[in-house]
Amino acid sequence: MIDLTISEQHKQKLLHRTRVSGRLSYPDVIPSRIEVRKLLANKLGTKEDVVIVHQILPGFGVGVAKVHADVYDTADVMPRLVDTFTRVRHLPKEEKVKFRDELKAKRQAAKAAKQAAKKAGK
């Protein structure tokens, strides 16, 4: 059974978030970011979409890891403060693929528009 104990919470009012550090105990395999995110959200009584896990630092040969995460006040604040790469890391696999495909299509459309504008300017 996975157990999470929170050791520190530091409120950062200007960034509308709380820095959380804790200790994670696990029996066999190190839990994924998504699993740790769910545990933190349940432990703190917030939604999963406002939790970003920055680090899971496992100890060598023991089933214990240190966890560092941020819990934002609202989901609206997070896109301004957290880069896209970090947000994508916290998505389930199917949503990651969908997001990357959409991003790729946007980039290709922007590239085509830029080329068209360049040709029209000549």
Query: What pLDDT digit, counting tens, does each position of 7-50 carry?
Result: 999 999 999 999 999 999 998 888 888 899 999 999 999 998 89
Alpha helix positions (H), the chain: 33-44, 78-81, 84-89, 93-121
What is the pTM for the complete model shown?
A: 0.75
Question: Residue 122 pLDDT > 70, yes or no?
Answer: no
The pLDDT of residue 43: 92
Write out pLDDT tens, residues 63-111. Answer: 899 999 999 998 888 888 888 878 888 778 888 888 888 888 988 998 8
Judging by beta carbons within 10 Å of its beta carbon (0-12, 13-18, 19+), is residue 73 exposed, middle or buried?
Answer: middle
Tokens of 66: 């240190």
**pLDDT, position 82:** 83
Rounded to the nearest 5 degrees, what angle is found at the Cα of 23, between the Cα atoms of 17 and 25? Answer: 135
